[in-house]
């Protein structure tokens, strides 16, 4: 008997990237298991979890990859960008250096990932608003300049976590649906008529 978790219409791989300590692992656990761990340790290499959800009557299985933020794991994690259809580029709103490094992460992502990848800039730990070091408007302007979507989240209190992942998955689903419709249009309207059919009409 098939496992219900194996029944899906689309399988989308999404990667979480950004500096160590910005909360990527807790974003992953909050979205996939609705859990938060105050004692979360730095990810070693790569970890992933899955969750299925409904979008436009289709079942999307999201495979979320949490990549290590430390420099020494960079060579390992870059290979995992391949095949990703979405990425959450995460920084800590209370640590400006993690935001400053976003440009480097974005370059690495675009060097290794598919050209059509959907990317969202995520300012995590919005619950630390009293310690804010990165103005929302500054991050939003960076996102607009680089054609990224943008959101602020808190894995601690769940703010916008669901929305962040769903926006990425919906964006990719829209792309996939558009490509499918375009392919159908091509098949229906743009292939030449079979020779026998044209000949048959001519001899009628």
121 located within any domain: yes
Residue with tokens 């619950």: 127
**3-class state of residue 87 by DSSP:** strand
Q: How many domains does the chain have?
A: 1
Of 30-39, 83-92, 139-148, 170-179, least confident by mean pLDDT is 170-179
198 located within any domain: no
Q: Which CATH number fits the domain that encloses residue 80?
A: 3.40.50.300
pLDDT confidence tier of residue 58, bands split at 50, 70 and 90: confident
Residue 158 and residue 35: Cα distance in Å, rounded? 9
pLDDT confidence tier of residue 95, bands split at 50, 70 and 90: very high
pLDDT of residue 89: 97
* Nearest one of 114, 117, 116, 61 to 89, comparing CA atoms: 117
Mean of pLDDT values over 50-63: 88
Q: pLDDT tens-digit profile of 186-202?
A: 444 444 444 433 333 44
pLDDT of residue 56: 80
Mean of pLDDT values over 13-25: 93
201 located within any domain: no
pLDDT confidence tier of residue 23, bands split at 50, 70 and 90: very high
pLDDT confidence tier of residue 116, bands split at 50, 70 and 90: confident
pLDDT confidence tier of residue 179, bands split at 50, 70 and 90: very low
The b-or-e profile of 176-187 (16+ CB within 10 A means b, else e) is: beeeeeeeeeee
Mean of pLDDT values over 24-44: 84
pLDDT confidence tier of residue 53, bands split at 50, 70 and 90: confident
114 located within any domain: yes
Q: pLDDT tens-digit profile of 119-172?
A: 999 999 999 999 999 999 999 999 999 999 999 999 999 999 999 999 998 875
Expressed as residue numbers, the domain containing 152 is: 7-190
- Asked if residue 150 lies in contact with residue 139, where contact means CB atoms within 8 angstroms, the answer is yes
40 located within any domain: yes
């Amino acid at each position: 008997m098939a496992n219900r978790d194996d029944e899906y219409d689309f399988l989308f791989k999404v990667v979480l990237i950004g500096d160590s300590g910005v909360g990527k692992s807790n974003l992953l656990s909050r979205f996939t298991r609705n859990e938060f761990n105050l004692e979360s340790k730095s990810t070693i290499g790569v970890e992933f979890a899955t969750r299925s959800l409904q979008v436009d009557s289709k079942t999307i299985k999201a495979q979320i990859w949490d990549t290590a933020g430390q420099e020494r794991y960079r060579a390992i994690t870059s290979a995992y960008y391949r095949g990703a259809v979405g990425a959450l580029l995460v920084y800590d709103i209370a640590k400006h250096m993690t935001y400053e490094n976003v440009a480097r992460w974005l370059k690495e992502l675009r060097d290794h990932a598919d050209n059509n990848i959907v990317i969202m800039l995520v300012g995590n730990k919005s619950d630390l608003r009293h310690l804010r070091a990165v103005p929302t408007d500054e991050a939003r302007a960076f996102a607009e300049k680089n054609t990224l979507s943008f959101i602020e989240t808190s894995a601690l209190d769940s703010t916008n976590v669901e929305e962040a992942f769903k926006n990425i998955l919906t964006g990719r689903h829209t792309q996939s649906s558009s490509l499918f419709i375009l392919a159908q249009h091509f098949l229906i309207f743009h292939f030449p008529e079979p020779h026998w059919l044209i000949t048959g009409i001519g001899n009628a």
